[in-house]
Structure 1
Amino acid sequence: MDTDVTEIAPDIFRLSTFVEEADLPMNQFLVRDEEPLLFHTGMPMLFPSVSAAVARLLPPDALRWITFGHVEADESGSMNHWLAAAPHAQVAHGAMGCFVQIGYLADRPPRPLDDGEVLDLGARRVRRIETPHAPHGWDAGLLFEETTSTLLCGDFFTAFGRPPAQTEHDIVGPALAAEDNGNATALTPTLGATLRALADLEPRVLGLMHGPAYRGDGPTALRDLASAYDSRLDAALERVRR
């Protein structure tokens, strides 16, 4: 498997490996700075390809931060591989996730992050945003890079198929089609509000874990996805009432 590298914002790189059997791209994001950060680790089987891609941008042992949205094989599966490759790196994750999972899974103690806490990487600043159960996982959260207004979206807008590296076309329709096939998103009363709060950040770039980097109207895409999920939740509740 080959991992493609695309710069989606200044010094923010999408590392994408298409996995045929899943019909999905698996994307990691590298922020190249004084304290380099990797968002998503990929599954263990992807580590050789992804680490080779990172090596095209900086020495892997220069990584300072390893982080991800939530604990799941494709987001955190290679965590300890990266800790071994980067002896000065530390896993940074939401405080609750560190307490219930990462503190027991990581080979070195993690750095707990509070909701809204910022890691200053040098020229770039990444903010942890807690999104419990959105799209799924008690420990779920996202990263927002403040200087470029880049939102690393995790599993939001997941779509099947091989996408381009970047797009300005619709990402909501493909995400809802994927939802029809996989039902991966937890429909809760807070889901729509979570997406609308992310829209209020006015992101200029959306970095999708299973899709392209989106350079269209990010706030509108997030609000449209929120409305679609609210409608699905209402329909599900109506079926229960019947």
Structure 2
Amino acid sequence: MTITNSQSGTNVHEIADGIYRINTPVEIEGAGGFSFNQYLIVDDEPLLFHTGLRKMFPLVREAVATILPVEKLRYIGFSHVEADECGSLNEWLMAAPHSEPLCGTVAALVSIGDLADRAPRALADGELLSLGTHSVRWIDTPHLPHAWECGLLTEERTSTLLCGDLLTQGGANLPPITEADILGPSESFRQGMDYFSHTKDARAMLERLASTNPTTLACMHGSTWQGDGAKLLRALADELST
């Protein structure tokens, strides 16, 4: 792990071949420790997934610059429209003049076509996008965990699921990668905050994600998890059904 900003504690860690977790720990008044993660896929056409909050842009940009020149970014992707997902989208588009927003077709239609300073590259459900040696596939997950436009990316070569707000863990000083239980902590966090939409289609969508057989789950908040991702996603489906 490399600390890229000693004041904020922002750090970078390679979680899979060519995929880097950028992490900033924070203390939220009244809520305790928390963390915000972005994921950078280094390739011929580099992709940043999650922009981070707008006010966090200088920290994330500084971290990205330790891995590759920021202006080389080709895609700025995110799961759904929320401040920590795409709050600094336009700042990234300015910093990387050849980049495009990358999102699902619903997000492009209802929000990003208007909010972004450049037109988005909208991915259809199941569409595969080559970045070079890595390829990412967009999977629509409407209302899982929340937002109509929600979707996730799976990186096929490394079997990495960029799983957004699924399996969120509280805490500010968690390890970059873990094989320990994260379902228990994430369920405790979810039940306290109740940020899931409780869609009736959750099990079917989680089964579809499980069928990709991920071995790395790149969580937006908390540690990245490694192990039998299909088993963990099915266990999450069981929890959501109770």
Give the paired residue count: 231
CA contact 1:2–1:49 (8 Å) conserved in 2: no
State which of 205, 215, 219 in structure 2 corresponds to 1:204: 215
Q: Output the TM-score relative to the length of structure 1.
A: 0.94
**Structure 2 counterpart of 1:8:** 15
Report the residue type matching 1:8 in the other structure: I
Are 1:216 and 2:227 an aligned pair?
A: yes
The Cα offsets for residues 77-114 of structure 1, whole Å up to 9 and x where unpaired, read as 00001001000000011011101100000001111110
Q: Distance in 2 between matches of 1:180 and 1:94?
A: 28
8 Å contact kept, 2:80–2:147: yes
Q: CA deviation at 1:2?
A: 2.8
The one-letter amino acid of 1:16's match is N
1:155-212 CA-partner distances (Å, limit 9, x unpaired):
0001111211000001110111001210011112101121121111100100000111
| 1:35 matched residue in structure 2 | 45
Q: Is the 8 A contact 1:171 1:221 kept in 2?
A: no
Q: Secondary structure of the equivalent of 1:176?
A: helix
> For residue 182 of structure 2, what is the aligned residue in structure 1?
171
TM-score, normalization by structure 2? 0.94
Q: Distance in 2 between matches of 1:86 and 1:2?
A: 24
| SS of residue paired to 2:234 | helix
Among 73, 80, 83, the residue aligned to 1:63: 73
Alignment of 1:1-242 (within 5 A): 1-21=8-28, 23-162=33-172, 163-231=174-242
Q: Which runs of 4+ in 1 moved over 2 A?
A: none
Q: Separation in 1 of the partners of 2:9 and 2:45?
A: 26
Counterpart AA for 1:185 = F
Q: Which runs of 5+ in 2 are unaligned?
A: 1-7
Quote the Cα distance in structure 2 between the aligned partners of 1:92 and 1:210.
20
Matched residue of 1:207: which SS? Answer: strand
- The share of aligned pairs that are identical, in percent, is 50
Q: Is the 8 A contact 2:75 2:100 kept in 1?
A: yes
